[in-house]
Amino acid sequence: MPTGVAIRDVRRQLFGAAERVLLRGGPNALTSREVTTEAGCAKGVLHRHFADFDTFLAELVRDRMGRIDDQAAALRDRAGSGTVVDNLAGALTDLFGPVTVGIVNLVVSRDELRGRLRRTTPTGIPVLTEATAMIASYLVAERDLGRIAADADIDTLSPTLIGSGHLLFADRQATAPEPTAVRKTVSAVVSGVLRQP
């Protein structure tokens, strides 16, 4: 006799539940019991699919990192269209949604999690490191199109944009910054390297 209802995509359901708990209560609220309760499943379900809770959290972060790869491809595809400032402001706004901000807070607050993530992201803060690479790849594409100066220091511009963007969005309890504030910040960072095609 079955003891429960089969879960079609356990990982997706558990990740979604973890994100909701994270948004509601912050990193300290994330426990295996809270996640499985939110997912509507037994605690054993999580441990059948992940070695332990820290492994689950590491996979949750890696899932978010994979989504940044998708965002990076979409941003590179925008190179040469619209304005550089608008493209970057839109990318930062899309990137720093409440879940990503919560994931960054989670990574910063849990030493064991950061240690596990160091195996694949040896430097920087996971998620922010991938976001920096996303911005850098876009800036390179714009430089190749002549919309950014050939001598633009992309290795400095990229983390500056990510750091500035994170500061704008970092307070998970406040409302998101106005689009004009994001655009103003981006413009201040890149104005010296913008070129007319």
Q: What is the pLDDT along the chain (197 residues), one digit of tens a residue?
A: 234 444 558 889 999 999 999 999 989 999 999 999 999 988 889 989 999 999 999 999 999 999 998 999 999 999 999 999 999 999 999 999 999 999 999 999 998 898 889 888 888 888 999 999 999 999 999 999 999 999 999 999 999 999 999 999 987 667 889 999 999 999 999 999 999 75
Architecture per CATH, domain 8-49, reads as: Orthogonal Bundle (1.10)
The pTM is what? 0.88
What does R_g of the chain's alpha carbons equal in angstroms? 19
The 3-state secondary structure of 31-60, one letter per residue:
CHHHHHHHHCCCHHHHHHHCCCHHHHHHHH
Residue with tokens 């300290």: 28
Question: Which sequence spans correspond to the domains of the chain?
Answer: 8-49, 61-191
Topology (CATH) of 61-191: Tetracycline Repressor; domain 2 (1.10.357)
Cα angle, residue 59 at apex, residues 34 and 14 outer, rounded to 5° = 35
